[in-house]
Chains A and B, each alone.
Chain A
């Protein structure tokens, strides 16, 4: 069965620094899809960035990037030049066989960006 694990419960960083949030996953499938979502203080859940397992290049969107280490089953989220408004809970998620149509989530990492 698929499993997504985020071991960092919370992280605190200073504004304008770089932070990395960890995520490891388990799947028997050779082809899968990895996602990061952000849950804001209002509770809204927003899609940030994705990595398809067959792509070797790490995905980048704005000041979000991924560190995809396939041999380690790891997909880290890197936020550069953090801003106060990056404070949120970040979820890692995966789609894999036997059911690509379901998204499985990790338990989340709470990020606090201090001024």
Chain B
């Protein structure tokens, strides 16, 4: 079954630490996205990509890097994690255009 799989599902790191969140999709979709979800803000777009090697900046990119290594794999990197990046992170994929977006189950990141 086509899916979006995120790992890890939970992560605790210290302030200043490095964190990589992974996402793999088997939907054969061109577009992949990283969103963060915080109470009162809904889902906010961090970065997205329309194919391997491509990266587009979203609405809240500060403090985040991302890399799309293959059609299937999209990584979110926090090189100097801060407590403000404590959040629930979602990866998603879509064919693009006007189509629906399909979400992974999320990664809860805590920066202490």
Contact = CB atoms under 8 A, between A and B. Distances in A.
Contacts of B100: 35, 47, 50
A44 to B, nearest CB: 6
A91 B43 contact: yes
Nearest to A43: B106
A101 B102 CA distance: 13
Nearest to B48: A102
Interface in B80-112: 88, 90, 92, 94, 96-98, 100-103, 105-106
Chain B, interface residues (CB within 8 Å), range:
20 to 34
B72 to A, nearest CB: 18
Interface in B29-59: 31, 33, 35, 40-45, 48, 50, 58
Nearest to B30: A101
Contact of A108 (B35, B42, B88, B98): B42
A73 to B, nearest CB: 17
Interface of A: 33, 35, 37, 42-47, 50, 52, 91, 93, 95, 100-108
